[in-house]
Structures are given as C-alpha cells and as structure tokens.
Amino acid sequence: MVRYKAIISYDGSGFVGFQRQNQGRTVQEEVEKTLTRLNSGQPVAVHGAGRTDSGVHAYGQVIHFDLPQERDVEKLRFGLDTQCPDDIDVVEVEQVSDDFHARYQKHHKTYEFLVDIGRPKNPMMRHYATHYPYPVSLSLMAEAVKALVGTHDFTGFTAAGTSVENKVRTISHASVVLDEQRQFLVFTFTGNGFLYKQVRNMVGTLLKIGNGRMPVKQIELILSSKNRQLAGPTAGPNGLYLKEIIYED
C-alpha cells in the first residue's frame, strides 16, 4: 500500500462535522466515498488531523489514506477535487512514508476565528463569521489574549465532560487584529493541540472582555482556577476555521 497525505479545504456549513457519525453528512464520509470510487470500488479509510465540529470550516485540514498503487499526485489531486462535492476542495496531495499519521504525528495547528462587527449585518457572511453587534475594545482583547500564550492547563476553556485526561496544551501564538476593510475581528491561535471547543470558548471569553463585562485578568483566573463557569459563552461554530497544520519531522 502507498500512503498519501492531502490538504483539503471545506465549507463546514453543510456538514455535521468532519468525523463520520451515525446521522448526517460528514467530510470524512464524503472523501471516503470519492476515494472508494477512484479505487475501483474498494473501500478506502480516511484519517483526519482534526475533528472539526458541525459548521466549522477548514482551509488546511490534513488527511491521510492508503491506496494499493503509486499514483501521479497531481492527477490524484485533480480527480479527488473534481469528484468530491463542491463544498470540499482538495488543495494538495503528496506521497508520504507508511508511518505518517495525520492525527498522531506531532504537529501545530493554526485556527482562525472571524467575528463580523460590521453594520448592517451581512447575510452573505452568516455561515462564515460570527456576528457581534456590540461595542468591543480591540486593545482590551489584545491585552487579554497574551495570557493564553504558553503552556497551561486549559480545563477552564474546554467543554465539561470531555474524556481527554491531560488538558495541558501549549499555545505558541495568540492574537487578535481588526481587518478594517471587512470590519472583521480576526483571532488567530497556534498550538500543539486544542481541547474540545477550546478555541470557541477562548473567543467567547475574549469578546466578553472586549465588551467590558469581564476584566482583562479573567483569562489568568480561568487558567489557574480551571473553572469553566468563569469563562464566557462558547462562540458560534460559523466563525471558526482550521487554517493550517504544520508537522514536525
């Protein structure tokens, strides 16, 4: 068998998430169906680096899969891209060694979260950014976001009842900037792993701080107390993008 790594992008609004489930349309299943067709009907399993939730988008999701023969990677990319549904694009395909694993090989993920602060509301963006029509201070959020950088126990920013035991993760980059042209707040986080709903909880908390309803110091308090109750609400999935994954070699 030959292993392939692919970078795919998708519009999450038509999916119940990346990972195959009993009910609903998933990215994994759609790509598997397409690969199976390209593989003369023999089933192909797809492994993804991140399990994006329902409504969450990706520009740089990484998957791997095995095919019985060596293929021209550009032809394979083109075939997959054109045969996948039009809300999934295949950006790049490369052959990798048999021990590459999209999920378990060490990597850094970058997530972006778009908040539309423009008025009036833009119906074209309703699936692609979270609309926040309240006043926000960019400088308060830019100050607060710094406290997320580093190695911390992120229990206070994850959904209650997650099965993962070790909740220590390292964030190497965290920022928020204003895209003036589009009137978007752009939050960016890079790290060696993120807990379930961690990014959306961090953004929900940062917006509350920006809106003046929580102090800047709240981030440190949530980290040290590991108390989810102290964090802000979970921001919507529609603003979240899995932007890029960089593997260590």
Q: Point out which residues bind a second copy (CB under 8 A).
A: 9-11, 57, 59, 86-89, 91-92, 120-124, 126, 128, 181
| Min separation Cβ 221 and a second copy, Å | 35
Q: Which is nearer to a second copy, 82 or 162 (CB)?
A: 82
Q: CB atoms < 10 A from the CB of 50, how many?
A: 22
Does the annotation list 247 as a binding residue? no
Instruction: Provide the minimum distance between the beta carbon of 162 and a second copy in the complex, in angstroms, as a whole number.
Output: 28
Chain-centroid distance of CA 80 in Å reads: 22
- Are 132 and 186 contacting, i.e. CB atoms less than 8 angstroms apart? no
CB count within 10 Å of CB 71 equals 16
H or E element that contains 145: helix 138-145
Tell me 162's DSSP state.
-
Least distance (Å) from a second copy to the CB of residue 170? 29
Q: What's the chain's length in residues?
A: 249
Strands 130-131 and 107-116: parallel
Tokens of 143: 């100050």
Give whichever of 86 and 165 is closer to a second copy, judged by the CB atom: 86
If the CB atoms of residues 92 and 220 are measured against a second copy, the closer one turns out to be 92
Cβ 156 vs Cβ 229: under 8 Å: no
**Separation of alpha carbons 204 and 233, rounded Å:** 5
User: Looking at the annotation, which residues are catalytic?
Assistant: 53
Q: Residue 192 is encoded by which pair of tokens?
A: 């060696």
What's the DSSP call for residue 78?
Answer: H
Least distance between a second copy and beta carbon 123 (Å) = 5
Question: Annotated binding site for substrate: which residue ranges?
Answer: 111
